[in-house]
Amino acid sequence: MKCKTIHIIAFDIPYPPNYGGAIDVFYRLKALKEKGCEIILHCFEYKRPQQKELKKYCKEIYYYPRNLRFTYYLSKTPFSVISRKNNLLLKNLTKDNHPILFEGLMSCYYLTHPSLKNRKKLFREANIEHHYYYYLALASKNIVKKLFYFMEAFKLKLFEKKLESTDIIYAISTTDEIYFKTKYPKVKSIYIPCFHPNNAVNTKIGQSDYILYHGNLSVPENIKVATYLIHNIFSKINHRCIIAGLNPSKELKDLVAKHKNIKLMANVDEQKMDELISNAQIHLLITFQATGMKIKLLHSLCSGRHIIANQTMIQGSNLEPLCHLAETDEDIISNIEKLMQIPFSKSDIKKRQQALFPDFSNHHLADLMIQSIRNEES
């Protein structure tokens, strides 16, 4: 199924694809390119440098600096949105009449601008943003950050109403799809799972001797989960446990150091992280934050062995049958003791392959997006 030219406004530079939002954006534009789309990419430069790799997939690339001026914190517009205001972006969008895909609410400053009134506008949701920031506020221990997150959540909830001006909302989970259909019934909402780096299930058969929890360890939610697992799960069992991820705090390092069976692996490269994921006997995918769909769930299903997850992690994913559900400390520990003894088999891999593909393949998801755009234009 072929596609024509499309503008994509990314909230960040989507390469390297080493965190959730970048993974979804990068593998989507890659899949759309492989389906014949010509992509005009607009992205905001903040901490991550410009990337030559993106030229392989894009007809044109424009980079814009984020404006982090202090007065923007006082604006009624969310800081994450207004800091991506750039007149050159608007000028580049109005050079033609191609559809525009806004990646995340933070890229939507110009969504309702009069110059774009007659354009096809598409919105890709990564989180229900005001929920996400509210949970960040609850998880943060820094009083200044906590206050900022609460204020940002309030502003984002008001700003979200601008989605009434979009033609299509691409929801990342069935739960979020229901939310958008209920909140904005006049806008077409479609469930499109996250794009990801896997084309097949590559899980290793057999078993190993360790349990893995991985994530960005500078994010308040992941810090909270890692701390919970250390106190309530890992310290209560005799198995080898590994916590891996970016930028762990000194407090987390000190906590891990108190337990001989727990190892912290900080800032490992992509190759090493892939090895940890593929060799682990059990993946613990626990979250207390019901926002979006966790990309690491899909990645772990394609590359890892047994998965223990709570309902908050898997809700809206349609992947419940592939995970071992556990809600209490006792349930998690019981599942660990059982699954540490069970090798992952060829039949387990076949079950996952049948459940995940083609429905979760990037080309299938790209086809769904292309067809939805065609339907809007016909």
- Tokens standing for residue 363: 């080309």
This prediction's pTM = 0.91
What DSSP element (H or E) covers 171? strand 168-171
- Has residue 228 got a pLDDT over 90? yes
- Least confidently predicted of 82-86, 251-255, 278-282, 311-315: 311-315
DSSP characters over 8-37: EEESS---S--SHHHHHHHHHHHHHHHTT-
Burial pattern 239-276, b for ≥16 Cβ within 10 A else e, equals ebbbbbbbebeeebeebbeeeeebebbeeeeeeebeeb
Predicted confidence (pLDDT) per residue in 254-276, tens digit:
999 999 999 999 998 888 999 99
- Specify if 354 maps to a domain: no
Residue 89's pLDDT band (boundaries 50, 70, 90)?
very high
Output phi, psi for 263, to 5 deg: -125, 135
Q: What is the rounded CA–CA span in Å between residue 91 and residue 265?
A: 45
The answer to whether 215 and 190 have CB atoms below 8 angstroms apart is: no
pLDDT of residue 221: 86
**In terms of C-beta density within 10 A (0-12 exposed, 13-18 middle, 19 or more buried), how is residue 161 classed?**
exposed
- Has residue 156 got a pLDDT over 90? yes
- Count CB-CB contacts under 10 A for residue 310: 20
User: Are residues 57 and 119 located together in one domain of the fold?
Assistant: yes
The answer to whether 21 and 194 have CB atoms below 8 angstroms apart is: no
Predicted confidence (pLDDT) per residue in 157-182, tens digit:
999 999 999 999 999 999 999 999 99
C-alpha distances in angstroms, 258 versus 75, 100, 213, 249, 278? 45, 51, 18, 15, 27
User: Are residues 179 and 219 located together in one domain of the fold?
Assistant: no
User: Are residues 151 and 292 located together in one domain of the fold?
Assistant: no
Predicted confidence (pLDDT) per residue in 177-206, tens digit:
999 999 999 999 999 999 999 989 999 999
- Specify if 86 maps to a domain: yes
User: Are residues 227 and 298 located together in one domain of the fold?
Assistant: yes
Predicted confidence (pLDDT) per residue in 299-339, tens digit:
999 999 999 999 999 988 889 999 999 999 999 999 999 99
User: Are residues 235 and 164 located together in one domain of the fold?
Assistant: no
Residue 292's pLDDT band (boundaries 50, 70, 90)?
low
User: Are residues 300 and 365 located together in one domain of the fold?
Assistant: no
pLDDT of residue 218: 87
pLDDT of residue 2: 56
| Eight-class DSSP state of 50 | P
pLDDT of residue 213: 98
Q: What is the rounded CA–CA span in Å between residue 201 and residue 197?
A: 11
- Specify if 204 maps to a domain: no
- Specify if 94 maps to a domain: yes
| Eight-class DSSP state of 281 | S
User: Are residues 37 and 152 located together in one domain of the fold?
Assistant: yes
- Specify if 61 maps to a domain: yes
Region of residue 47 (phi > 0: left; psi between -120 and 50: alpha; otherwise: beta): left
- Count CB-CB contacts under 10 A for residue 321: 10
Q: Which of 27, 19, 22 is nearest to 10 (CA)?
A: 22
User: Are residues 249 and 296 located together in one domain of the fold?
Assistant: yes
Output phi, psi for 7, to 5 deg: -85, 135
- Specify if 119 maps to a domain: yes
User: Are residues 227 and 132 located together in one domain of the fold?
Assistant: no
User: Are residues 13 and 160 located together in one domain of the fold?
Assistant: yes
- Specify if 201 maps to a domain: no
Rounded to an integer, the average pLDDT of 44-52 is 92
- Has residue 103 got a pLDDT over 70? yes
Tell me the one-letter amino acid at 25: V
Count how many domains the chain has: 2
- Specify if 202 maps to a domain: no
Rounded to an integer, the average pLDDT of 114-139 is 94
Task: Please give the mean pLDDT across all residues of the chain.
Answer: 94
User: Are residues 149 and 173 located together in one domain of the fold?
Assistant: yes
User: Are residues 301 and 367 located together in one domain of the fold?
Assistant: no
Q: Which domain holds residue 9?
A: 5-196+360-377
- State the virtual CA torsion across 181, 184, 185, 187 in degrees, nearest 10: -90
Q: What is the rounded CA–CA span in Å between residue 151 and residue 191?
A: 29
CATH number for 326 = 3.40.50.2000
Q: What percent of the chain has pLDDT over 70?
A: 98
